[in-house]
Structure 1
Amino acid sequence: MNKDKTDQNASSRRAFLKSSAIATAAFMIVPRHVLGGKGFLAPSDRLLIASIGVGGKGESDIASFAKSGKADIAFLCDVDKRRAANTVKNFPKAKFYTDWREMFDKEAKNFDAVSVSTPDHNHAIQTLAAMQLGKHVYVQKPLTHDIYEARALTAAAKKYKVVTQMGNQGASNDGPRQMKEWYDAGLIGDVHTVYAWTDRPVWPQGIPWSANKADVPRDLDWDLWLGTAPYKEYVEKLVPFNWRGWWDYGTGALGDMGCHLLEAPFSVLNLKYASEVQASVGSVYVDEFKRGYFPDSCPPSSHVTLKFPKTNKTKGDVVVHWMDGGIQPERPEELQANETFGDGGNGTLFIGTKGKMMSSTYSANPRLLPLSKNASIKVPERFARVKDGANGHYAQWVEASIAGYGKQEVSSPFEIAGPLTEALLMANLAIRGVDVQAKNDQGKIIYPGRNIKLLWDNDNMRITNFDAVNQYVKRTYRKGWELGA
């Protein structure tokens, strides 16, 4: 073979190899979902979730994330192995931990997001730690146990640029969007008063702490369960449900249902931070002649009134009434005698200058009053609905987390959930203030927090006219369990 022929062949071979390499490289950088065809999700298109608190509500939360089709449950953590057993069985590939701190230390590089479904008193410390690792977070309601914590998490979400969502799934229902459209169309005029009520608590409240000590269940790590709370000996029936009625751990009926029932007033009226609050509470009879007040326990019922300053959606202040323990507001005169108020046990009522509207739990089933109006009123749809409503609350967060901070909207980010939670916890300040004791000049025990209105300095996060309740704005954490430690 002559030299020219040899050079030509070599040149052709080099050109072939070069073009093949380019083609191979191009093939390799094609997104895997293109190669896999319809329904294939590349690893970058899936959210790896570590879940803290995986029994009870945590179990259903995890199932809902998995149902989105875009999340993998990578790690499970619970202080109660018995409660966690069913979830562990359903997600056998997920590694299990008892201590969330150990899970974070060892596995932080192996997950993208954290779900928190633990008792209220541990929400903030777990959530802040996750955000400090740059993880997206989904946190059950209420967002936090204390006002200080809510403010801290709201700021942290912005600082660490993570996707956040509180578990008040009614925020993704059509109801709040429908009511915003009605309100913006002027159908009920300017809202000045809102009522929200619940038949909860459905756990014991207004009772003394049990004197009957019990053995800690074998599968429960009691010290880890206590977390931030003061150390106490284990008592029967506190775990897994009745902790809600004790201030060390829960936030009462307000914390349990308030985020569901007051979300709509916040989103419809753009409410933020209250300026004042007052409360009255029910009590129980210790014996035939004496009423009991037990400051460690939430009361059996309460009526709290919060005032919110004028917003861009109102012409003046808005007064919000909260009622629990079965207390309900007077039925609207537009509601006929046998028509259901709210959903019976729970509801929210908006009172405007031209009319009224109400909804059920989770802001579901919004109705104008009188109910006969609803057949004829048609208002254009202006706010995009969330696919699957309340059930889509989970998938919404999963997809937004995959997209990244600021790329997709979620219904209850901390910038909204934080102020909402603060309002509920400010109401609890007034409730707790009722039981604050002092002694008068004659040495007699008095209750100076009763029958007064508490004035709130929002910038400094403190009540200005009754300092004794400010201890509850930010509690003292158990040593070693401080927020942000």
Structure 2
Amino acid sequence: MQRRKFIKKSAAVSAAFSIVPSFVMGKGHVPPSDTLYVGAFGVGGRGAGVMQGMYDTKKVKFVTLCDVDDRRAADTYKKYPKAKRFKDFRKVYDKHLNEIDAIMVATPDHMHASIALPFMRAKKHAYVEKPLTHNINEARLMTTVAKENGIVTQMGNQGASSAGSREAKEWINSGIIGKVHRVDCWTNRPVWPQGVPAPTEKQAVPKGLDWDLWLGGAAIRDYNAAYLPFKWRGFWDFGTGALGDMGCHIMETPFGVLDLGYPTEAEASCTTNWVGDFVEADYSSSCPASSIVRLKFNTEAHGDIALNWYDGGLLPDLPDELKDGEKIGDGGGGSIFYGTKGILVADTYSRNARLLPSSNMELFNAPKPYLKRIEGDTGGHQNNFVEGCLNGLETSSAFERSGPLTEAVLMGNLAIKAFQYKKYKPGKKAGDWDPFEYPGRRKILWDGANMKVTNWDMANDWVKGTYRKGWELT
């Protein structure tokens, strides 16, 4: 199938189902009208966990399973033996589109939009793992297509369905810490290699893996075990680093609580892999081992807000109000909200909101909960999506909300790339390098409405990304 014809066809197809009354099915059976028929893409690893959450609702049937790696997908194939198996997502579209209500996408980041968009244009509901997309343009496109087609959507950042996220919003809305002017967020990741050069050794492709399909829209290169499994997250061509991996979790709380919208500017400071004025190797293909990212937002309710991100072992300053022996975060990460009247701290996935100094908790009368809680807390994130598809329940992380959140996260990655950017060329002798231009820390100014960097045009190439011929998004 030609890619262009495939994309065009996706806009013109809709699904139809026969409704069978429940009394015909008999006791204990769920009728087709109360069942969500799902096509799953990327069914090993994280995808298997998402599928389990959907399956536990007892309202989902997996029609097709698609994965380019038989090894990773083996357990899932055994668990759902009646589902049809594929390696190429385009064949699922071509052969089973009319049998599917919704899709679940948990592939590497660089293939999220390529897989999801054709099905979304065919009005299929979409659950897509975080980060929603690999670049900003894809996130904007996914948000637009979801709205135009009126489909139910959910990004896989389960903290958005947590009680903690809603509690933090209720507290801050009560005015207990005043107007927020600064938020610090951090994670303990990466827990995979970053700050490393791209592998150059050609290795044999493992049996059962379709390497060309795994690459998808990324540039052709030889297979190397340095990329799989999971380690692809540290390479820009496939992943989005520690910020892309955990930002959609940890930044979800400030983003939702404060209605942040698009950032106005971003800058980063990262670990570097160079010595003096000479490059030892090309590390530009890899995300840095650690970074600090500073984003600025302008909000209607709170005015200007600075959001600072830390990863790779770097941590924010401890609040003066923190007593000896008290901790912030939960080991994996957290966030600190600084307001004009006080401080609020939350753990990863928005859990365990609390005030600083801790003595304020003794005096604080928490407002009566008024935001709807999701049954099962974070474990109900997949159920929230299923109920949205079947019964119209509002989802916690619809693309209308999670798309702009993803854009803000990826805006931080633009600042990281700007910091990493350098011009260099090999020297005349093997192992020698000529001096390079290293601009270092650079502030990126962002026009969110027009999706454009206004002070460094080269960065706009990163906004839209690049695709291998035949895999371009339309």
Q: Is the 8 A contact 1:171 1:412 kept in 2?
A: yes
- With over 3 angstroms needed to count, the CA separation of the structure-2 counterparts of 1:460 and 1:226, relative to structure 1, is same
Q: What is aligned with 1:250?
A: 239
Q: Which moved more, 1:459-468 or 1:212-221?
A: 459-468
Q: Does 1:447 align with 2:435?
A: no
Normalising by structure 1, we get a TM-score of: 0.88
- Within 2, Cα distance between the matches of 1:205 and 1:398? 36
Q: What is aligned with 2:382?
A: 394
Matched to 1:322, the amino acid is: W
Matched to 1:205, the amino acid is: Q
- With over 3 angstroms needed to count, the CA separation of the structure-2 counterparts of 1:395 and 1:30, relative to structure 1, is closer
- With over 3 angstroms needed to count, the CA separation of the structure-2 counterparts of 1:375 and 1:85, relative to structure 1, is farther
Q: Aligned match of 2:343 in 347, 356, 367?
A: 356
Greater CA radius of gyration, 1 or 2? 1
Q: 1:368 Cα deviation (Å)? A: 1.4
Q: Is the 8 A contact 1:213 1:236 kept in 2?
A: no
Runs of 4+ in 1 over 6 A off after TM superposition: 35-38, 289-293
SS at match of 2:38: strand
- Within 2, Cα distance between the matches of 1:444 and 1:86? 51
- Within 1, Cα distance between the matches of 2:323 and 2:331? 14
Q: Which moved more, 1:221-230 or 1:458-467?
A: 458-467
Q: What is aligned with 2:135?
A: 146
Kindly report which structure 2 residues correspond to 1:25-424, keeping only aligned pairs within 5 A, or say none. Answer: 32-33=21-22, 40-284=29-273, 294-311=283-300, 313-314=301-302, 316-377=303-364, 378-403=366-391, 407-424=392-409
Q: What is aligned with 1:4?
A: none
- With over 3 angstroms needed to count, the CA separation of the structure-2 counterparts of 1:396 and 1:345, relative to structure 1, is closer
Q: Deviations over 1:348-381 (max 9, x none)?
A: 1100000111111111111111233335533211
- Within 1, Cα distance between the matches of 2:384 and 2:235? 33
- Within 1, Cα distance between the matches of 2:202 and 2:20? 60
Q: Is the 8 A contact 2:415 2:442 kept in 1?
A: no
SS at match of 2:184: strand
Q: How much identity, in percent, do the aligned residues show?
A: 48
- Within 1, Cα distance between the matches of 2:140 and 2:411? 12
Q: What is aligned with 1:480?
A: 470
Q: 1:457 Cα deviation (Å)? A: 1.6
Q: Deviations over 1:301-325 (max 9, x none)?
A: 11111111123x31x1111001111
Q: Is the 8 A contact 1:206 1:293 kept in 2?
A: no
Matched to 2:58, the amino acid is: G
SS at match of 2:359: helix
| Structure 2 gap ranges (5+) | 1-17, 425-433
Question: Aligned pairs, how many?
Answer: 447
Q: Which moved more, 1:116-125 or 1:293-302?
A: 293-302
- Within 1, Cα distance between the matches of 2:52 and 2:207? 26
Q: 1:211 Cα deviation (Å)? A: 2.2
Q: What is aligned with 1:11?
A: none
Kindly report which structure 2 residues correspond to 1:430-445, keeping only aligned pairs within 5 A, or say none. Answer: 430-438=415-423, 445=436
Q: What is aligned with 2:452?
A: 462
Q: 1:38 Cα deviation (Å)? A: 7.3
Q: 1:460 Cα deviation (Å)? A: 2.5
- With over 3 angstroms needed to count, the CA separation of the structure-2 counterparts of 1:234 and 1:286, relative to structure 1, is farther
Q: Which moved more, 1:455-464 or 1:419-428?
A: 455-464
- Within 1, Cα distance between the matches of 2:266 and 2:309? 11
- Within 1, Cα distance between the matches of 2:207 and 2:26? 49
- Within 2, Cα distance between the matches of 1:106 and 1:37? 30
Q: Is the 8 A contact 2:199 2:226 kept in 1?
A: no
- With over 3 angstroms needed to count, the CA separation of the structure-2 counterparts of 1:394 and 1:329, relative to structure 1, is same
Matched to 1:85, the amino acid is: A
Q: 1:212 Cα deviation (Å)? A: 1.9
- Within 1, Cα distance between the matches of 2:54 and 2:291? 35
